[in-house]
């Protein structure tokens, strides 16, 4: 009855054609991580029965681009029974869960990001390098949940910024085969002092997963990421350094490494449980899967499924 897609609009070739011919009822739940939106993207999406944006910002951008079949947005969600604080404080968590990522006296930064073109690992690692240099008395650990081979040669990128002594990678066999569970990711977020996710994001699921666990996320002051942080932690939005034109002919924002450093210091200079106590409950209530799926169900129920060709 309904063909529902949750993927970047660039991949669509036959889908808009089939929808235009009324062979399928297509609903596109689409991430937008660029501005402005090119006309060819609007043209593709205009064939959908309905477009559901992932944030208010994205909905407005699509409408401003001339798209008439978008009038709704639904955030992604998290499972609040999994993504939650595991103890009453960061200190208690690290005592209760022995691990090979961080020691009790270290400041842990996590990057839960794919090694891909749309993740500015260069700018983020440059910011971390400057943060380490500016705080020589602080023991800093960086956990990068990513695979060494991808857009970047990650191991050589780590060496380039002289971060070999600071960085920890996941179990590569488990990562490659998709064997990390939600519970394991929740523990990683719980162990962290801060999660860094300062790239252009169509939504940015690690942003809310970390916050649901009581760990603040530093994100880009752009689009959906800015919207997610606005209510609770606007002081952790990283300024844009510049926009880069990609091979898809869209303008993607890149983070300012100096501002990454500043935002890391904002978290460092706060008491260890300052954000832990501030963000978890609000995030889990706002993005709980039950709330999200109810909104999605309401949006889908409004669609007229008649008129397909037999």
Tokens representing 304 are 């007229």
Residue from 232, 142, 233 nearest 191 by CA: 142
Give the model's confidence band at 277: pLDDT under 50 very low, under 70 low, under 90 confident, else very high.
confident
Q: What is the pLDDT of residue 155?
A: 95
Tokens representing 7 are 């993927």
Give the residue-averaged pLDDT of 183-211.
97
DSSP 182-198: HHHHHHHHHH-SEEEE-
Q: What is the pLDDT of residue 304?
A: 86
In this prediction the pTM is 0.95
pLDDT tens, residue by residue, 130-177? 999 999 999 999 999 999 988 889 999 999 999 999 999 999 999 999
Statement: residue 307 has pLDDT above 80: no
φ/ψ of residue 243, rounded to 5: -110, 140
Q: What is the pLDDT of residue 310?
A: 63
Statement: residue 309 has pLDDT above 90: no
Q: Using CA atoms, how far apart are residues 119 and 197, in angstroms rounded to an integer?
A: 9
Give the residue-averaged pLDDT of 78-82.
96
Is residue 14 a contact partner of residue 232, using CB atoms and an 8 Å limit?
Answer: no
Q: What is the pLDDT of residue 305?
A: 84
Of residues 152 and 306, more confidence is placed in 152
pLDDT tens, residue by residue, 82-137? 999 999 999 999 999 999 999 999 999 999 999 987 889 999 999 999 999 999 99
Is residue 136 a contact partner of residue 269, using CB atoms and an 8 Å limit?
Answer: no
For the chain, the residue count is 310
Q: What is the pLDDT of residue 53?
A: 97
As a whole number, the mean pLDDT across the chain is 94
Give the residue-averaged pLDDT of 236-251.
91
Is residue 277 a contact partner of residue 214, using CB atoms and an 8 Å limit?
Answer: yes
């Amino acid at each position: 009855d309904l063909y529902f897609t949750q993927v970047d609009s660039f991949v669509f070739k036959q889908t808009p054609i089939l929808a235009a011919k009324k062979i399928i009822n297509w609903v596109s739940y689409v991430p937008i991580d660029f501005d402005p939106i090119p006309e060819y993207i609007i043209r593709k999406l205009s064939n959908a029965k309905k477009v559901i944006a992932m944030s208010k910002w994205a909905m407005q951008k699509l409408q401003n681009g001339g798209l008439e079949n978008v009038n709704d947005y639904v955030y992604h969600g998290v499972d609040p029974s999994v993504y939650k604080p595991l103890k009453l404080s960061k200190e208690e968590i690290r005592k209760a869960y022995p691990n090979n990522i961080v020691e009790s006296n270290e400041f842990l930064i996590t990057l839960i990001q794919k090694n891909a073109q749309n993740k500015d690992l260069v700018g983020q690692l440059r910011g971390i390098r400057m943060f380490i240099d500016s705080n020589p008395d602080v023991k800093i650990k960086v956990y990068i949940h990513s695979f060494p081979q991808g857009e970047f040669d990650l191991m050589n990128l780590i060496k380039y910024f002289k971060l070999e002594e600071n960085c920890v990678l996941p179990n590569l066999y488990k990562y490659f085969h998709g064997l990390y569970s939600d519970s394991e990711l929740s523990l990683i977020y719980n162990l962290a002092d801060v999660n860094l996710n300062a790239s252009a994001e169509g939504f940015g699921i690690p942003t809310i997963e970390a916050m649901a666990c009581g760990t603040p996320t530093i994100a880009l002051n752009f689009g959906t990421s800015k919207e997610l942080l606005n209510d609770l932690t606007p002081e952790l939005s990283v300024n844009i350094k510049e926009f880069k034109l990609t091979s898809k002919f869209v303008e993607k924002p890149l983070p300012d490494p100096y501002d990454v450093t500043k935002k890391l210091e904002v978290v460092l200079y706060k008491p260890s449980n300052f954000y832990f106590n501030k963000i978890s409950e609000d995030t889990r209530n706002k993005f709980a899967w039950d709330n999200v799926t109810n909104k999605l169900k309401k949006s889908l129920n409004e669609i007229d499924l008649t008129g397909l060709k037999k």
